[in-house]
Structure 1
Amino acid sequence: MGEYPVYDDGVYDAFDVRDERFRAYGDAIAGSVAGKVVLDIGTGRDALWAVAAARAGAAHVYAIERQPDVAAQARSAVADLGGRVTILEGLSTGIDLLTPAQVCVSEIVGNIASAEGAVAVLADARRRLCAADCLWIPFRMQTWAAAVSLPEGARTLAAEGRPYVDRVFAAVGRPFDLRLCLGGPAAELLVSSAALVESLVFDHRRAPPDTDEVASAQLTVEAAAARMTGLLLWSRIAVSPATSSREIDTLSGGTRGWAPVYVPLGATEVRSGDRLDVTWRRSTSDDGVHPDYHVSVAVPGAGELLVWSSPHHGGGFRETDLHRELFPS
C-alpha cells in the first residue's frame, strides 16, 4: 500500500505499535543522532522517527512528507518540540536543505524490500541532501524467497483489505494484478529452504545500490512431497551496521509493519531434494522511482519456466488463476 500511497489512520496506528520494528528503529536513532542534523524521509502522520530524533538530542530534524493532509498532522505531532523539527511537504526528490543531513532515517521499506522506491529515493538524497559521511537508518534491506504450498480454500481476500484495493486501483487509474500479502502464520507454508534474492546496503563507504538488478538463487525442497503453488517474498531489515543491532525478519511475525508477498506460479509437484533455480529481476518503472519485478523459477522435470511479472503500475488484470479467483468480475 505504501507504494501508491494509500495510508489511513488504521495503517498509522499499526506503525505506532511498540513491536520489534519500533524498538529497533528507536534504539538506532537514540544511539546516533545527538548533536547532528537529521533527515527523516516519509515521516508520516505522527512523525515517529523525527520526534524520536529530536528527543534523542538531534541538532535539528528535517522531516519530509509527500501527502498534504498527513504533513499537516505531522506538524501537530511536533508542535511541542520547540522548533527542533521542520516538516517539509512534498517529495524528497523535489526538496532542498540548507544544511546537509548527517543522519538519514527512512522507512520506505516495502513488503518486497525495494518496492517503495528506496533505491532511487535514497540515491537522490545521498547526492543532494546528505553529508558525505551520512549515517543511514536502516543500513540494509533484503528480500528473501522460499517456495510455498498454499492450501485450497485458503485463498480469500481479507475483508479489511478490500477498501485499500479500491484505493490502489484508483491511484493507478484502473484495475491490475496487484501484489498480495499473506495473513496468518505464513512461515508454516514453506516447503523449501530460503534464499536471498535482493540485498540493498546504504553506507557512505560503498557505492549506492544499482537501480536495476538481476540475481539468481537456488532453493532446495525440504518437504517429502509437496504441491508447490508459488513463492513467498519477505523483507529483512538491519537498522544499524552494529553487530548488536536487531535485524527485523518480517516473516517471523514480530512486527505489523510488513507482511510477506505471495507470488502465484501455478501448482507444481515437487519432491524432497529438488533444486529450484530462481532468477530475480528488478528494473525501475517509468515513474523513475518504483521497481517492476520479474521472477522465473526452473523446476526439475517441468517443461517450462514458471514466471511471475509484476509491474508497479500497468500490466493486465485477472491474468493469474489467483487474481481470477479473488476478483471474479
Structure 2
Amino acid sequence: MTTSVDMVVAGSTVRVLVDPTRTTAPGVPTLGPSIGEYPCYDTVSYARMTDDEERNRRFRAALARLAAGRVVLDIGTGADLLWARESVRYGARRVVAVEAMEESFHRAGTWLAEPGAGERITLLRGVSTELDIAPRAEVCVAEIIGSLAGAEGVAAVLADARRRHLAPDAVVVPHRCVTLAAPVAFRRLLGGAPVAFAADSLGYLRTIFEWHGSPFDVRLRVKDPARDALLGGGQVVEVLDLNGHLPLEQRRSVRLTIDRPGVVDGVLTWLRLWCLPDGEPLDALRVASNWASVYFPLFDSEHPVEAGDTLDLTVTSTLGEDGTHPDYHLDAVLRTSTGTRSASHSSPYRGGGFRHHPVHRHLFP
C-alpha cells in the first residue's frame, strides 16, 4: 500500500509517493534519495556510519599501520570526529580535522574534551579546498566516498590537498575505490515491495530540495537491494586510485552480459573499496554497510532479455558547476535477439530536470 504525501519546497508543493509501512531497516530493500553528496547528514546518518563495523575495521586497520608518529589530515571528519580520534588512538603526533557543516562542526567540538584529544587535534570549520592548513600532513583520511565512488567530490578535493596540504609522500586512506554496474529491472530491486520511497526518507528529500532551491530528479538510493534482481555480474565503470593517478573526469565503457532470462530497464551501481593495497575490499552489495546502491534508469519500459544478450554501457563523469562534485551521464545499447535499443540518462549534481523519466514521474506523481 502506498500513499502520496505533499511536501512544500521553496513555496511549491511536491507530491511524493511513499510506502508508509517501510523504513530503512537492516536487510530490508528500501528506496530513498542518495544523500552522501548533499549537506543533509543528521544524527541517524552519522550513527549508521559510526556503527558501520564493515567500514570501520578496514579504516582502523589502515590507521593502525600508518598513523603512529605522523601528522594526519582528516577531511570531512563528521559530527563524531571519528577518524581524528582514532588517529590519536593509533599514535598520530598531530591531527587536523576539517568539517564543513556548521552543526556537525559544533558537535565534533564536544569530543575535544576527551582526555588527550584537545592537545593533539585541531578542528577547523570549512571545506579543505578553501582553507590553509599547516603543517603538511603525512597521512590523509578522506572518508568522502559516496555510494557512487566519486560522487562526493573526492577527486577534486584530493587534487587540491596534494598541491597544498599533503607532504610529497603522503598516504591517503582509503587506498582505492571503484563503482560497479550491473543490468537490472527497477521494480525487482525492492523484493516485491511497492516502488515508493521509504517513509523515513522524506526528511532527506526535503533537505536536498531546499538546498537546491527546487525539486529535481534525485539519484535513487536502494538499500539492501534484492540480489536476484541483478541479471549479470558487475563491471567497473569508475575508478579512483587515491594514491595514484586520480583524474577529475573520466569515461569508461563496458559490456554487461545478461546471464539469465528476465527484464531490464536500467543499471544498479555500487561501491567496492580498499583501505590498504593488500587489505580485504569492502563490497557494498555483499556486506551490510553504510554505503548503498544507486539505480540509474535507462529505458522507458522493461525489455525482455535472454542469457547471452548484452548491454553496452558508457559512464562519463565531468565536474559539475561547483568544480568539485561530478555530474554523471550514462549511454547504453541493449542488444537482444529481437533488435537493438539505445538509451541515455543524465544525473547532474545539481540542476537538471524534474520528472523527466517515467520512474521519477511515478515517484513524484
TM-score normalised by length of structure 2: 0.85
* Aligned amino acid, residue 296 of structure 2: V
Deviation track 1:1-23 (CA, whole Å, cap 9, x = no partner) reads 12121000010111111421011
Q: Distance in 1 between matches of 2:287 and 2:125?
A: 33
Partner residue of 2:96 out of 47, 54, 62: 62
Partner residue of 1:293 out of 311, 314, 328: 328
Partner residue of 1:274 out of 309, 315, 318: 309
1:126 lines up with 2:162 in the alignment: yes
Deviation track 1:203-247 (CA, whole Å, cap 9, x = no partner) reads 2xx33x111111101111011x21112100101110111x2x121
Gaps of at least 5 residues in structure 1 are: none
Q: CA deviation at 1:254?
A: 2.5
Q: CA deviation at 1:172?
A: 0.8
Quick one: structure 1 residues 185 and 304, their matched pair in 2 at CA, closer, same or farther if it must change by over 3 Å?
closer
Tell me if structure 2 keeps the 8 A contact 1:144–1:194: yes
Deviation track 1:242-295 (CA, whole Å, cap 9, x = no partner) reads x2x12110111321x210001112312211011211111000011000000111
* Aligned amino acid, residue 315 of structure 2: W
Partner residue of 1:45 out of 79, 88, 101: 79
Corresponding residue of 1:105: 141
SS of alignment partner, residue 31 of structure 1 = helix
Q: Distance in 2 between matches of 1:185 and 1:322?
A: 17
Q: Distance in 2 between matches of 1:187 and 1:126?
A: 39
Corresponding residue of 1:231: 267
Partner residue of 2:119 out of 48, 72, 83: 83
Partner residue of 1:262 out of 295, 303, 311: 295
Deviation track 1:143-182 (CA, whole Å, cap 9, x = no partner) reads 0000012337631111111110010011111100010111
Tell me if structure 2 keeps the 8 A contact 1:214–1:281: yes
Corresponding residue of 1:8: 42
1:135 lines up with 2:135 in the alignment: no
1:151-170 matched pairs, under 5 angstroms: 151=187, 154-170=194-210
SS of alignment partner, residue 258 of structure 1 = coil
SS of alignment partner, residue 53 of structure 1 = helix
Q: Distance in 2 between matches of 1:82 and 1:169?
A: 37
Q: CA deviation at 1:186?
A: 3.4
Q: Distance in 2 between matches of 1:97 and 1:309?
A: 36
Aligned length: 321
Q: CA deviation at 1:303?
A: 4.5
Tell me if structure 1 keeps the 8 A contact 2:176–2:241: yes
Tell me if structure 2 keeps the 8 A contact 1:40–1:106: yes
Deviation track 1:21-47 (CA, whole Å, cap 9, x = no partner) reads 011111111111000000000000011
Tell me if structure 2 keeps the 8 A contact 1:186–1:251: no
Q: Distance in 2 between matches of 1:112 and 1:86?
A: 30
Corresponding residue of 1:211: 248
* Aligned amino acid, residue 132 of structure 2: D
Identical positions, percent: 40
Give the RMSD, CA atoms, in angstroms. 1.3
Deviates more, 1:180-189 or 1:21-30: 180-189
* Aligned amino acid, residue 47 of structure 2: D
Q: CA deviation at 1:327?
A: 0.8
Q: Distance in 1 between matches of 2:180 and 2:63?
A: 26
Corresponding residue of 2:19: none
SS of alignment partner, residue 71 of structure 1 = helix
1:92 lines up with 2:128 in the alignment: yes
TM-score normalised by length of structure 1: 0.94
Gaps of at least 5 residues in structure 2 are: 1-34
1:251 lines up with 2:266 in the alignment: no
